[in-house]
Amino acid sequence: MAVAWLDDVRSTDIDNVGGKGASLGELTAAGLPVPSGFVVTAGTYREFIEDAGIDEELFAAVDVDHEDTEALREAHERAHELIMETPVPDDVREGILSAYRNLGDGERFVAVRSSATAEDLPDASFAGQQETFLNVQADALVERVKECWASLFSQRAIYYRNRQGFPHEKVDIAVVVQEMVDAEKSGVMFTSHPSTGESQIIIEAAWGLGEAVVSGSVSPDNYVIDRESGAVETITVADKKTMMLKDEATGETIEQPVPDDKRSIRVLSDEEIEELVELGERVEDHYETPQDVEWAVHEGEMYMLQSRPITTIDEEDEASAEADATAAADADGGSANGADDSESDDVLFRGLGSSPGIVSGEARIVTKLDHLDQVGDGDIIVTEMTMPDMVPAMKRAAGIVTDEGGMTSHAAIVSRELGVPAVVGAGSATRQLEDGQPITIDGDKGTVRKGAEPPEDEFEPIEEARPKTPVKPMTATEVKVNVSIPEAAERAAATGADGVGLLRTEHMVLSLGQTPTKYIEENGERAYVDELVDGIRTAAEEFYPRPVRVRTLDAPTDEFRQLEGGGDEPKEHNPMLGYRGIRRSLESPDLFTHELKAFKRIFDMGYDNVEVMFPLVNDAEDVAQARNLMQQAGVDPTKRTWGVMVETPAAALEVESMAAEGIDFVSFGTNDLTQYTLAVDRNNERVANRFDELHPAVLKLIGDTIETCRELDVKTSICGQAGSKPQMVQFLVEKGVSSVSANIDAVRDVQHEVKRVEQRLLLDSVR
């Protein structure tokens, strides 16, 4: 069976219909009005290449040196040619066309969209960027499906899969064929406020096809509805100059002026708003998380074209919602809608606001295939995902926008530490923006606007707005800071933090551009140890005498694979569960010993503020072995402060026996602890809505561990991303954590949060 109808597709079919197909199937099953359509399954593509016998030639053609641009271009051309020139078997062609005819009478226009399936591969989204075709009819349908198949072998996709060592044969592609909705009006709807998470439904609406609203080429009307009461709170009617329409003759989408009598009237009636709100609530109930919905109206019928979770809401935003609302009211004389007005005007698209600040500059589209020297001072880097070797360019840049990645991605961590505003996980920024296009990004709200005009309510970058020598609230619980790149140590120290709660060594190593083994092979052991010593010393010096907790290496093999020499890294099906952290160190004690020797040198130099921390331990056995190797390398565990990360449920449950091995502290790595407790991949955007560091199970492990550690006189801390979240801070302080370590930009807020909770606890105890 070449096709599966959306009516029959469910989320469990994801392997055969891809993410897009599965999500449309779910919405259809939930009884929501989704335009009808079907999926040409991944199995069909697979059979096509296998039955035609082109599979082996295809995979061999793309097995090229990914750094060789010419070879990549040829590989892409050969793969494209192989697929396009191989005829589709008659039964498959007929299957697709007969499904098309079943959509209804006449020559219907359909959208043809790729829906890749590679969910079992980490970072499979690298395979992304496949084709979409609008307004397709029967004559071109099968060709368009083939073009979607061929788009699995774009230069970029080949490049990434080769570099990551992903087998090409493990990535498949399905194609969604769906009726086009010839919309009279359309827009987007957020079922909760996209940046504050408030219980409001925000609807944006314009005349004509939805592309206009989604791409930001027209200012839409804006409707804000209070979800509790259902009341329409504000209506902002925009002057809608243009609209997108389908040209009846060519089927192409064209832009036209809006007729005068429609320009400044409301797009949506009260009844339509009601209908949309009801649909929005149903979608949100179905997914149990706020959604960003694309909708359209055709001949009075409401359709839902797409729904995805709103990624911009997080707890930090929720906590600051109140403050923002007050600021907005102050700025525009009390209209609660002020912030939305300025935001909705020119927003091109949204991602996750991952490093605060508003900046404008020219978009500089960077792929690894390009030269980074194109990035000039003040440009905004736009890239699929940042790599360690991009750090020098990231330092020059005014801002960073990425297609991929979450709040703990390389781009998010490094940009925060460099103090460069960033929006990550913005979907298709590299395709939506043009090189040289002026844009303004907001690293708090996660918006990318067109134009280089910062909005009127622009605030100064954090450093300028805050006093140079921060007046730090006195707290009994220490508030520390996380550092991943030694270059950020100075900024980190200027926050007034009580020390470094986590200095990651991975970034020092990744920035060498070679795997440790390769680096040592070419430059010798001494040079490798020197590099580590330099990085650690930069932070230790900057903070002296405040403590700096340095963690031994914890880079998963897929990160090492990006480096020169990475080809020798073991290929792992699931690197997050594999050869990383202390388990790798104990398996290859040679490399680990180099790291330990770096510590020995640091201590010999007199930096007695440095502490040693071991990642990803599971039990007392891991701890004892690591401690013994440290002792053998000349670092006396009884004289130095050392401890372990609690990043697995096993470590949390085994803390008592680990404490008996002599550790001074444990630090909760909530990025991993959450991932391993909930079985949710921290790097997989598809399950990001399930990644909840405040989940009761995670909190129970943390709370019980703190309790045990307090009895045993072992200090406790947190150094995962959640240490920057007010709710987590509150929970930890109430439980009696010894310290909290936050991101540079969050230190100040965490200091105040800690102070507030401590004062409340004190008051409660005397009242």
Residues near ligand PEP, by CB under 6 A: 408, 502, 504, 554, 647, 669-672, 719-720
Q: Counting contacts by CB under 5 A, is residue 559 touching Mg ion?
A: no
Residue 65 Cβ vs ligand PEP, minimum distance, rounded to whole Å: 31
* Tokens at 599, concatenated: 């510590």
Residue 581 Cβ vs ligand PEP, minimum distance, rounded to whole Å: 8
Q: Counting contacts by CB under 5 A, is residue 672 touching Mg ion?
A: yes
Q: Which CB, 357 or 720, lies closer to ligand PEP?
A: 720
With CA atoms as reference, report the closest residue to 456 among 605, 311, 642, 332: 332
- Which amino acid appears at position 93 of this protein? R
Task: Name the binder of 483 from Mg ion, ligand PEP, none, CB < 5-8 A by kind.
Answer: none
Task: Name the binder of 344 from ligand PEP, Mg ion, none, CB < 5-8 A by kind.
Answer: none
Cβ density class 364-401: b for 16+ within 10 Å, e for less? bbbebeeebeebeeebbbbbbbbbbebbebbeebbbbb
Q: Which CB, 153 or 691, lies closer to Mg ion?
A: 691
Task: Name the binder of 408 from ligand PEP, Mg ion, none, CB < 5-8 A by kind.
Answer: ligand PEP
Q: Which backbone phi and psi does 104 adopt, to 5 degrees? A: 150, 180
**Bridge partners for 226 per DSSP:** 200
Residue 430 Cβ vs ligand PEP, minimum distance, rounded to whole Å: 25
Residue 668 Cβ vs ligand PEP, minimum distance, rounded to whole Å: 7
Residue 613 Cβ vs Mg ion, minimum distance, rounded to whole Å: 11
Which of 288-296, 377-385, 410-418, 663-671 is the region at the interface with Mg ion (rule: CB under 5 A)?
Answer: 663-671
Q: Which backbone phi and psi does 575 adopt, to 5 degrees? A: -60, -30
Contact assessment for residue 153 and residue 62, using Cβ atoms and an 8 Å cutoff: yes
Instruction: Figure out which of the listed residues 399, 669, 723, 726 binds Mg ion, where binding follows CB under 5 A.
Output: 669
Residue 673 Cβ vs Mg ion, minimum distance, rounded to whole Å: 8
∠ CA 660-661-667, nearest 5°, is 90
Q: Which backbone phi and psi does 299 adopt, to 5 degrees? A: 45, 50
Task: Name the binder of 670 from Mg ion, ligand PEP, none, CB < 5-8 A by kind.
Answer: ligand PEP
Q: Which CB, 194 or 535, lies closer to ligand PEP?
A: 535
Q: Are strands 301-309 and 438-442 parallel, antiparallel or unpaired?
A: unpaired
Q: Which CB, 401 or 651, lies closer to ligand PEP?
A: 651
Q: Which CB, 502 or 533, lies closer to ligand PEP?
A: 502
Contact assessment for residue 231 and residue 324, using Cβ atoms and an 8 Å cutoff: no
* Tokens at 187, concatenated: 């827009």
* Tokens at 78, concatenated: 């050969």
Known catalytic residue at 80: no
Residue 552 Cβ vs ligand PEP, minimum distance, rounded to whole Å: 12
With CA atoms as reference, report the closest residue to 45 among 183, 151, 121: 151
Q: Counting contacts by CB under 5 A, is residue 693 touching Mg ion?
A: no
Which of 43-51, 323-331, 471-479, 664-672 is the region at the interface with Mg ion (rule: CB under 5 A)?
Answer: 664-672
Contact assessment for residue 639 and residue 645, using Cβ atoms and an 8 Å cutoff: no
Q: Which CB, 225 or 719, lies closer to ligand PEP?
A: 719
Q: Which CB, 306 or 408, lies closer to ligand PEP?
A: 408
With CA atoms as reference, report the closest residue to 336 among 349, 326, 350, 321: 326
Task: Check 66, 80, 193, 410 and give the catalytic one.
Answer: 410
Q: Which CB, 404 or 554, lies closer to ligand PEP?
A: 554
With CA atoms as reference, report the closest residue to 58 among 190, 149, 181, 119: 149
State the residue for tokens 């006449």.
106
- Which ranges constitute the DSSP H helices of 122-180? 138-150, 155-164
- Quick one: how many helices (H) and strands (E) in the chain? 30, 29
- Which amino acid appears at position 202 of this protein? I
Residue 481 Cβ vs Mg ion, minimum distance, rounded to whole Å: 17
End-to-end CA distance of the chain: give it in Å, rounded.
72
Q: Which CB, 196 or 670, lies closer to ligand PEP?
A: 670
Distance CA 289, CA 698 (A): 20
DSSP string, 523-585: H-HHHHHHHHHHHHHHHHHHHTTS-EEEEPP---HHHHHTSBTGGGSPP-S-GGGSS-HHHHH
Known catalytic residue at 410: yes
Residue 481 Cβ vs ligand PEP, minimum distance, rounded to whole Å: 13
Task: Name the binder of 172 from Mg ion, ligand PEP, none, CB < 5-8 A by kind.
Answer: none
Contact assessment for residue 197 and residue 321, using Cβ atoms and an 8 Å cutoff: yes
Which of 369-377, 475-483, 556-564, 640-648 is the region at the interface with Mg ion (rule: CB under 5 A)?
Answer: 640-648
Q: How far is CA 263 from CA 217, 390, 449, 766, in A?
A: 15, 46, 23, 64
Task: Name the binder of 186 from Mg ion, ligand PEP, none, CB < 5-8 A by kind.
Answer: none
Residues that bind Mg ion (CB under 5 A): 647, 669, 672
Q: Return the active site residues.
A: 410, 719
